[in-house]
Amino acid sequence: AESAAARSVGAIDAPVSGGDVGARNATLSIMVGGREADVTEAWPLFELMGGTIVHQGDAGCGQHTKMVNQILVASTMLGISEGLLYARSAGLDGEKVLESVGGGAAGSWTITNLGPRILAGDHAPGFFVDHFLKDLSIALEEADSMGLDLPMLALARRFYAQASEKGLGSHGTQVLASLLVANHEGF
């Protein structure tokens, strides 16, 4: 932002959430950082791409908000993966479990949209493991620079690194559930 200001140019950061489907359907969630005047000027472009657009603050705030998103997604995916492993081990019908918990306090976009794909063994990417791993690493570095200890994030990063090492980097983030099953079964 300082470098841009020195050249009389505005700087905006505007990371997104919603994956390729959100991009195709112009329903992305856009987390915008930058000076109010610059953001206002760019707003019509954001409206072409997204349904949820929030100005988070100065330049850089959009990126920090994206890290919050990734931390929440990582923790949620760990919980869903463990929950479905537990359900499988208890002999429960996964579809019925998703129907029950998806309508309660555990309900989320992730469980509604990725839960059925997990049960079907569908690892097609909405977001690649390797890209997610990069984001989790950045979030851990930023957290460390703030003096924060985020154990769930560190655990998620460890599992996604394991997935990448096993050649699953081009799979979707929901492959974590299959990785936990494989780890449990000794593969």
Neighbours of 149 (CB within 10 A): 8
The active-site residue out of 66, 96, 134, 166 is: 66
Backbone angles phi, psi at 29, to 5 degrees: -95, 125
Close Cβ partners of 103 (under 8 Å, ≥ 6 residues apart): none
186: left (phi over 0), alpha (psi -120 to 50) or beta: left
Query: How many Cβ atoms sit within 10 Å of the Cβ of residue 124?
Result: 9
Question: Using N-to-C axis directions, what is the helix angle for 175-184 and 61-89, rounded to 10°?
Answer: 40
Determine contact, residues 69/17, Cβ cutoff 8 Å.
Answer: yes
The answer to whether 66 is a known catalytic residue is yes
Q: Residue 32: in which H helix or E strand, if any?
A: strand 28-34
Q: DSSP letter string over 162-175?
A: HHHHTT-TTSBTTH
Would you please indicate which residues are annotated as catalytic (active-site) residues? 66
